[in-house]
Homo-oligomer: A and B are copies of this chain.
Amino acid sequence: MTGQVRLAIADSVAQVTLSHPGKLNAMSRGMWQELRAVFATIQQDAALRCVVLAGEGGNFCAGGDISEYAAFRFEEASLRHFHDELVWGGLQAMLDCDVPVIAQIEGACMGAGLEIASCCDLRLASASAKFGAPIAKLGFPMAPRELALVMTAAGELSAREMLLAAAVLDAPTLVQRGFLNRVVPEAQVGEEVSASAVRVARLAPQAARLNKQSFRALAQVQRALAATDLVANAYAYAASAEHREGVTAFVDKRAPQF
């Protein structure tokens, strides 16, 4: 069992659930492929008017599934395949979605979770949610295209703080910095998100799709500039000692020596 991305549809609203019990919904390679498939399905359903994306059991998504990393991260080709095909395949499917997507963010929203949240249109968070991408503790950088995505959505200040200082930021800070639309008490997140979804689903659906196409047309230009080819050898660090040490230390539950 390596986690699932589930899809349920009711009353023109799609509910997407990240589920990886015991791992705070950390994204496995299989989940990235499911995320892509789920959003491809959503994109083909002309009757849909809103998508809600949430994590199961009180957390959004804690990042990638680190237990899988030793199997593919230390070789450049497989690392590139992971980022450019699996991860970006899922994120691109979200960005390609013409229906408004609301992120319901509770608990951990880290690394991959932050990237997934960055692909949503509206972001509501529980007051206790936490945000970050402390992969500098794991010995590796964010892939350039993913960094461009987070930088655009969260702002350059927060992106640099999360990546270069491994900062973990709370929900009020990210409301203040313009990443979150609203922070609500923990017990009311689900209810508030559902009410928002109902309101969005009542609005003119073709207008929403056209607006999303415009947002995407504008953003795509920026993201094209941000493509990995701007950064030569983005995955050449795969076999480096630092990368191995960070990932291995995490799995071994010890502090890394950089």
A138 CB, min distance to chain B CBs, angstroms: 7
A residues whose Cβ falls under 8 Å from a Cβ of B: 100, 121-123, 135-142, 144, 147-148, 151-153, 155-161, 163-166, 175-181, 196, 199-200, 202-208, 210-215, 217-219, 221-222, 225-226, 230-231, 234, 237, 240, 242-243, 246, 256, 258
Number of copies: 3
Q: Taking chain A's interface residues, is the majority helix, strand, or loop, or is none over half, making it mixed?
A: helix
Tell whether A156 pairs with B196 under 8 Å between CB atoms, given A136-B204, A207-B139.
no
CB pair B166–A205 under 8 Å, yes or no, is no
11 more contacts with CB within 8 A, not counting A137-B204, A144-B214, A218-B226, are A100-B165, A136-B211, A141-B208, A141-B211, A147-B215, A148-B218, A157-B181, A158-B178, A164-B212, A165-B196, A205-B242
For A141, give its contact among B122, B159, B214, B225 (CB under 8 Å). B214
